[in-house]
Amino acid sequence: MSIHMKRSLLAGVFVALALCIVVLVSGTHRGASLPEVTIGGPFSLVDGAGKTVSDRDFRGKFLLMYFGYTHCPDVCPTTLGAMAEAMDKLPPADRGRVVPVFITVDPQRDTPSVIGTYVRAFGPEFVGLTGSTAAIGKAEREYRVYAQKHALDQGDYAMDHSSVIYVIRPDGQFVAVLDDQMPPAKMAQALVKLGV
């Protein structure tokens, strides 16, 4: 396992634990003095065709959302591949109700054309989103995403990032986090249980 994959998995574990704590705290202490922490929120980003897309453009669909980057050597393509397989395992009538969305954490390199080409390799239903550093940072904060650049040899860099899959309901509300290591068949079953 590469160092990058280990770092991404560790970051994913920390984010998953944090999200579990958020869900437990907000569900267990309703009415208590603890503040309720939300996951998800509005965003305005750019798709592979260069068109501005907001969270409102996806209303009426379930989103299977993942944050990563196109230069990612292992975790991102593996997770997107699993998402593509899960889509194939959904009942045919339900596939059109789910949009897999890949949001970059590396807007410096992931231009609209780069991310558009990248997601097409996983299926025509995939949507890739990028944007300005500020717009991507806002989306990361909304979804409690960890992303940090770290230097590599010869002036290159990689991105350490959390690695979880967010499920967003058709009304735009966060409903669940799926483990990026979940087998595609179980991922499809989880989506059906969530109402897809």
Q: Where are the domains of the chain?
A: 3-193
Question: What is d(CA 149, CA 158) in angstroms, rounded to the nearest whole number?
Answer: 6
| The pLDDT of residue 168 | 97
What tens digit of pLDDT does each residue of 100-109 get?
999 999 999 9
Q: Supply the pTM of this predicted model.
A: 0.83
What tens digit of pLDDT does each residue of 115-135 get?
999 999 999 999 999 999 999
| The pLDDT of residue 1 | 47
Give the pLDDT band of residue 56 (cuts 50, 70, 90): very high
- Please report which helix (H) or strand (E) contains residue 127, including its range: strand 127-130
Q: What is the mean pLDDT of residues 168-190?
A: 95
Residue whose C-alpha is closest to residue 159's, from 170, 148, 144: 148
| The pLDDT of residue 119 | 98
Question: What is d(CA 157, CA 159) in angstroms, rounded to the nearest whole number?
Answer: 7
| The pLDDT of residue 53 | 97
- Does 3.40.50.720 match the CATH number of domain 3-193? no
What sign does the dihedral 48-133-180-4 (CA atoms) show? positive
Angle ∠(70,76,95) on CA atoms, nearest 5: 105
User: Which residues on neighbouring strands pair with residue 99, listed in sequence order?
Assistant: 63
Token readout for 46 is 């750019």
